[in-house]
Amino acid sequence: MTWQQDAFVHAEQEAPRESCGLLINYQNEDKYIPCKNLALHNDLQFLLDPLDWADTEDKYGKIHAVIHSHPIGTEHPSEADIISCKRSNKTWYIIGLKTKRWFKFKPTDKIETL
Ligand SMILES: [Zn+2]
């Protein structure tokens, strides 16, 4: 399975909660690492477990991207997503579970909110 497939399966398993995970490179292969979503309203937002982040970094080194799902609505980032992306200084991917589309953005991208 590709990391995109792994991430999509995780998103399906977590629904109606938002799933979240990290993209790393291990032995020259991109790999999706599923993480826990600690948000109180985890159907509408996500808070990636900082322990999962730290463990992943310890084990695999550089975090290449942050991935989360939108079980409802579209793959388009929310205002909070755009702010958190800038804060994380990482590339982000959003999986639209309903739309089956992906949205990729970087902290430097100018994105119009809906
Ligand atoms: Zn989001």
Give the integer Cα–Cα distance in Å for 104 and 77.
9
The CATH class of the 3-105 domain is: alpha beta
* Overall average pLDDT of the 51-77 stretch: 97
Q: Give the Å distance between the CA of 74 and the centre of ligand 1.
A: 9
Q: Give the Å distance between the CA of 19 and the centre of ligand 1.
A: 10
Among 89, 88, 92, 91, which residue's Cα sits nearest to residue 70? 92
Q: pLDDT tens digits, residue range 14-55?
A: 999 999 999 999 999 999 999 999 999 999 999 999 999 999
pTM of the model: 0.95
Q: Give the Å distance between the CA of 33 and the centre of ligand 1.
A: 18
Q: Give the Å distance between the CA of 60 and the centre of ligand 1.
A: 25
Q: pLDDT tens digits, residue range 73-97?
A: 999 999 999 999 999 999 999 999 9
